[in-house]
Structure 1
Amino acid sequence: MSIIQTIEQEKIVPIIRSSDKTQLQQVIESLYAGGARVLEVTMNTPGALAAIEWAKATHSDLHIGAGTVLDAESARTAILSGAEFLLAPTLDAKTIETGSRYGVPVIPGVLTPTEILQATEAGAEMVKIFPIRAFGPSYLKDVHGPLPHVRAMAVGGVSLDNMQEYLQHGWHAVGLGSQVVDPKAIERGDMKQLTRNMEQARALLREGGGTR
């Protein structure tokens, strides 16, 4: 199974973004304990690359990607640290090209149909439609009219409250940030809250007819 297929199967990608590198391993462990098997660590998180290396060495069944990858140089660095997939907030063809060279999929951030088509023509197997907040769950259905082949992840406005609605509208995956990876819980050292958040997300997925 490819990593894109794994993301589609898991459907939920927790997004780890933190200013404190000392707790990254605990955050990853807590999400893993809650059932996360696909994770994103953003590149603007201090210690992101070391955390990716550690996670890959610790959990063979954990698929971990690097997020906020803005250019080809960052892409290569993340890949050499063990990232299995890369996510970006923007579309950069050279980043996708670098990922393809190493056999690592890049999920670029796009918004318009033009950007979506450019991304897929550059080799992206999946796109991250970001920020989705202003468009809502039905946006993918509109996109699929002229571009039925597009596989898309919704990010930037997806929460535990509306996650099911997105998935019911045919989105292939969703990225969940602070509602799962709660920065306040991290600040007070309450890692069990992250586990509970992840368990809740997985329960909602099951209730909505998801595979997990």
Structure 2
Amino acid sequence: MRTRDEILQALTDPGIIAVVRAQSREQVVPLTEALLAGGVRAVEVTLTTPDAYSAIEEARKRFGRDALIGAGTVLSADQCRAVLASGAEFVVTPLARPDFVPIIFTAGAVSVIGAFTPTEAQWAHEAGADFIKLFPAEILGPGYVRSVRAPLPHLRFIPTGGVTVDNLAEWFRAGCPAVGVGSALVSREILAANDWAELQRRAAAYAQAARAARASQPGT
């Protein structure tokens, strides 16, 4: 069992969170193996995955401390409690739901609470959210994060949507501690073909790009 501090550290090293919308529960273990082999440890199993609660529980038992298994697209307090009971180490919601924070904190997990505006982001921060999920990030861009963090430098944004190997360095330079990557990494085509070799290749490209981006930052 990881501590909250260990989960926080794992989410930001190398800072790639794979957002997984698997086509079946059975895909979660092999795709996690491929992501791990490529250097991506954090796996967000969304609740759009069939039998997601069982998938999370199975992945936690299978990988132990090797992978960081979380839950995404969590929309209600009941779902929040259910994913935590299944063993999720971090919980991600695309919605502005600061009320999830005490539920997640009490379970010893890490919260990533959705926001689109500075006000929503500040509400989540004041509630104790560990990170702010910026979604859909491609509409706003890294410049938005830089602008918001100029007066509000305490906000720790994790952008999701439109993050690619080519632009992830811009997000890190804007001050993001991690990024969420969905279909650009775990694509529908990969899932349809169970092409785990291609998934491992993409994961390695993202992990390498993230480490290179961090190495180029001042003070790293």
Q: TM-score range by the shorter chain?
A: over 0.9
How many residues are matched? Answer: 211
- Root-mean-square deviation (CA, aligned residues, Å) is 1.6
> Which residue of 142, 153, 177 maps to 1:137?
142
Q: 1:22 to 1:61 in 2, by over 3 A?
A: closer
Q: Which residue of 2 aligns with 1:8?
A: 12
* Cα deviation 1:15-43 (Å, max 9, x = unaligned): 10123223222111111221121110001
Q: Please tell me whether residue 167 in structure 1 is matched to residue 172 in structure 2.
A: yes
State the Cα distance separating 1:210 from its structure 2 match: 4.4
SS of the residue corresponding to residue 137 of structure 2 reads coil
State the Cα distance separating 1:67 from its structure 2 match: 0.3
SS of the residue corresponding to residue 142 of structure 2 reads coil
Give the letter aligned to residue 69 of structure 1: V
SS of the residue corresponding to residue 196 of structure 1 reads helix
SS of the residue corresponding to residue 208 of structure 1 reads helix
Q: Which runs of 5+ in 2 are unaligned?
A: none
**Conserved in 2, the CA contact under 8 Å of 1:131 and 1:156?**
yes
**Conserved in 2, the CA contact under 8 Å of 1:129 and 1:155?**
yes
SS of the residue corresponding to residue 99 of structure 2 reads helix
Give the letter aligned to residue 120 of structure 1: H
Q: Which residue of 2 aligns with 1:76?
A: 81
- How do 1:54-203 residues align onto structure 2 when only pairs under 5 Å count? 54-59=58-63, 60-203=65-208
Q: 1:77 to 1:147 in 2, by over 3 A?
A: same
TM-score, normalisation: structure 2 = 0.90
2-structure distance, mates of 1:31, 1:8: 16
State the Cα distance separating 1:105 from its structure 2 match: 2.1
SS of the residue corresponding to residue 214 of structure 2 reads coil
Give the letter aligned to residue 26 of structure 1: P
Of stretches 17-26 and 108-117 in structure 1, the one that deviates more from structure 2 is: 17-26
1-structure distance, mates of 2:10, 2:28: 23
1-structure distance, mates of 2:38, 2:205: 9
1-structure distance, mates of 2:78, 2:37: 33
1-structure distance, mates of 2:110, 2:77: 13
SS of the residue corresponding to residue 100 of structure 2 reads helix
The runs of at least 4 consecutive aligned structure 1 residues that moved more than 4 Å come to: none
SS of the residue corresponding to residue 12 of structure 2 reads helix
1-structure distance, mates of 2:112, 2:211: 25
Q: Which residue of 2 aligns with 1:50?
A: 54
**Conserved in 2, the CA contact under 8 Å of 1:4 and 1:126?**
no
What fraction of aligned residue pairs are identical, expressed as a percent? 36
Q: Which residue of 2 aligns with 1:18?
A: 22
1-structure distance, mates of 2:9, 2:161: 22
TM-score, normalisation: structure 1 = 0.93
Q: Which runs of 5+ in 1 are unaligned?
A: none
